[in-house]
Amino acid sequence: MGWGLLFAIIGLPLIELYVFVQISHSIGFVSALLLVILSSLTGMALMRRQGISALLKVNSQLNAGGEPMTGLFDGLCLSIAGLLLFFPGLVSDVLAIPFLLPPVRRLLLGVWLRHVPPVQMHSAGGFGDAYPPPGGGSTVIDGDFTVVQDPKADEPPKALL
């Protein structure tokens, strides 16, 4: 963990700088600078628009009684892409491209679901799995009930002292 963090802090900016110098030699400094600025502005716009879109998608999936995992994961991938595009540099822009492609996001979601255990959901009624029971549908419990009227219901409550 320590070496990876050290590489991220020192190595990635050096790689970004090296690639920027090489690109600016090829297409010119002003063109390379405009490319970096354009990608950062695209990243900011993507983060704003896709964040709201992902929230609306998750909300509609929850209202329909469906599983919000795909919407949440799409929002996460698009946020990572927007963040990578926002950082100045062309290497981070290239790393952001796979997160923008829906087939890559579906592949990553499949890998995620195979390797991450289901999340336990807590509700007022108790505990339950975040995923439906095996075999598809929901659990149905059939029963009868009888309304019992309390004979003391008309009396005012007694003070507890």
Neighbour-count burial of 138, counting CB atoms closer than 10 A to its CB (0-12 exposed, 13-18 middle, 19+ buried): exposed
56 is a domain residue: yes
In a domain, 114, yes or no: yes
Structural domain that includes position 69: 11-118
Q: Is the residue at 140 inside a domain?
A: no
Q: How many domains does the chain have?
A: 1
What average pLDDT does this structure show over 107-123? 73
Count of helix runs (H) and strand runs (E) in the chain: 6, 2
Segment 62-110, tens digit of pLDDT: 788 777 777 888 888 888 888 888 788 888 888 888 888 888 888 988 8
Is the separation of the CB atoms in 71 and 61 below 8 Å? yes
Measured CA to CA in angstroms, residue 160 lies from 152, 154, 155, 156, 157 at distances of 16, 18, 15, 12, 9
